[in-house]
């Protein structure tokens, strides 16, 4: 039995060559007739955001074979991916935009061309909370993944990777499982002329169900997938995470041991680590200082401890309501005062 003809153009963008509105052409004649009736004004393009030539496409209707898009007879096109899944990067961008709007969150999803086209990866960036989520489409070698981590972690409070089919190197999967207990994967489901992303967490021996973005939550510590057990801190004990909107205690921010390695560091917020590092520094410097300075240092130490606890208790809904942003700002202010005292003592 022959598989689908991969050379047939199954996806396009609607409206213009530069459009980001993807569409999957129905393969059956009846569905295509219905689409034409419902949207007579649609124009289809071999979109630049699909890595296409920008040419106009016709929707070819066949009763006896698969319907598909077709270029003008003399067009020259070097688009690499034409199959049903070739607009998935545009669909995840749309899903992410809808998800963020629904949660009242100020975030952006951007396409990343890693050398083979605009569909290599999609980065989701939350502005205020500085969470980052990378949806990886193109296969990455392990060193490529490591260096992408460096890039994405810069100035980020959290970084989550969600891998598409075949995009993660086995070594990367091993490292992710060691650090987080699981690796996040995505796939797509076709619904009419669109496709929608589904996510799950895969441990070595079990996986959660495939769920839409709406079932996931963005927390100060990153993307949470319902049912995923996430390793936290140095205890490596899995912490059960409930799906939103059921309030659930977020994983408490652990106090990392001095010199905690980069891998375990990824599991705590950089802001928490910064505050804890400054408290340690101030405590060391204040040990030999005057009584009034020691009192100030002790007060800041207590304040920091209660802030770290408050930060650790933040949940998904707190993030959406802006409470998390406020708490992060308090942490920033606290870090500033600790830094000032440390400089005075040096």
The neighbour count for residue 292, using CB atoms within 10 Å, is: 8
The verdict on 118 binding Zn ion (CB under 5 A) reads no
The verdict on 87 binding Zn ion (CB under 5 A) reads no
Contacts of 98 (CB under 8 A, 6+ apart): none
How far, CA to CA in Å, does 87 sit from each of 79, 84, 161, 163, 344? 12, 7, 20, 16, 56
Q: Which is nearer to Zn ion, 77 or 293 (CB)?
A: 77
Distance CA 27, CA 193 (A): 10
Question: What is the contact mask toward Zn ion in residues 22 to 41, using x (rule: CB under 5 A)?
Answer: --------------------
To Zn ion, the closest distance from the beta carbon of 216 in angstroms equals: 35
The verdict on 97 binding Zn ion (CB under 5 A) reads no
The verdict on 164 binding Zn ion (CB under 5 A) reads no
Judged by CB under 5 A, the stretch of 30-38, 61-69, 70-78, 242-250 that binds Zn ion is 70-78
The verdict on 304 binding Zn ion (CB under 5 A) reads no
> What element of type H or E holds 45?
strand 44-45
Judged by CB under 5 A, the stretch of 34-42, 55-63, 149-157, 290-298 that binds Zn ion is 55-63
Judged by CB under 5 A, the stretch of 74-82, 112-120, 181-189, 228-236 that binds Zn ion is 74-82
Q: Which is nearer to Zn ion, 79 or 267 (CB)?
A: 79
Q: Which is nearer to Zn ion, 74 or 235 (CB)?
A: 74
The verdict on 17 binding Zn ion (CB under 5 A) reads no
Distance CA 311, CA 303 (A): 12
- Which residue in the set 25, 32, 53, 279 belongs to the binding site for Zn ion (CB under 5 A)? 53
Question: Burial level of 232, CB count in 10 A (0-12/13-18/19+)?
Answer: buried
**What would the two tokens of residue 175 be?**
């490292």
Q: Which is nearer to Zn ion, 11 or 136 (CB)?
A: 11
Which residues sit opposite 218 in a β-bridge?
Answer: 223
Q: Which is nearer to Zn ion, 52 or 316 (CB)?
A: 52
Distance CA 307, CA 288 (A): 26
Contacts of 231 (CB under 8 A, 6+ apart): 179, 180, 181, 237, 238, 239, 267
The verdict on 213 binding Zn ion (CB under 5 A) reads no
> What element of type H or E holds 152?
helix 142-153
Judged by CB under 5 A, the stretch of 79-87, 255-263, 324-332, 333-341 that binds Zn ion is 79-87
Q: Which residues bind Zn ion (CB under 5 A)?
A: 46, 52-53, 55, 77, 79
């Amino acid at each position: 039995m022959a598989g689908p003809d991969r050379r047939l153009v199954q996806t396009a963008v609607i409206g213009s060559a530069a459009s980001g509105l993807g569409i999957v052409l129905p393969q059956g004649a009846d569905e295509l007739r219905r689409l034409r009736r419902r949207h007579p004004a649609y124009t289809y393009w071999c979109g630049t955001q699909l890595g296409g030539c920008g040419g106009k496409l016709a929707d070819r209707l066949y009763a006896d074979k698969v319907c598909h898009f077709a270029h003008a007879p003399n067009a020259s096109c070097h688009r690499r991916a034409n199959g049903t899944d070739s607009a998935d990067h545009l669909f995840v961008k749309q899903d992410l935009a809808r998800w963020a709007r629904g949660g009242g969150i100020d975030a952006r999803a951007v396409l990343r061309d890693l050398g083979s086209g605009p569909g290599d990866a999609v980065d989701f960036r939350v502005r205020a909370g500085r969470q980052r989520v990378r949806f990886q489409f193109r296969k990455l070698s392990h060193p490529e993944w490591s260096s992408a981590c460096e890039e994405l972690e810069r100035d980020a409070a959290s970084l989550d990777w969600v891998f598409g089919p075949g995009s993660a190197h086995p070594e990367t999967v091993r490292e992710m499982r060691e650090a987080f207990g699981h690796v996040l994967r995505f796939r797509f489901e076709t619904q009419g002329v669109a496709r929608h992303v589904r996510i799950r967490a895969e441990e070595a021996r079990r996986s959660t169900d495939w769920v839409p973005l709406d079932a996931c939550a963005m927390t100060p510590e990153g993307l949470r997938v319902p049912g995923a057990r996430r390793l936290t801190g140095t205890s490596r004990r899995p912490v059960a995470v409930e799906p939103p909107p059921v309030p659930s205690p977020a994983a408490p921010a652990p106090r990392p041991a001095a010199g905690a390695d980069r891998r375990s560091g990824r599991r705590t917020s950089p802001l928490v680590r910064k505050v804890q590092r400054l408290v340690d520094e101030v405590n060391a410097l204040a040990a030999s200082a005057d009584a009034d300075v020691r009192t100030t240092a002790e007060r800041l130490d207590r304040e920091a401890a209660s802030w770290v606890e408050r930060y650790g208790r933040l949940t998904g809904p707190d993030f959406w309501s802006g409470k998390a942003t406020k708490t992060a700002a308090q942490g920033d202010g606290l870090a500033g005062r600790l830094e000032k005292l440390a400089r005075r003592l040096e």
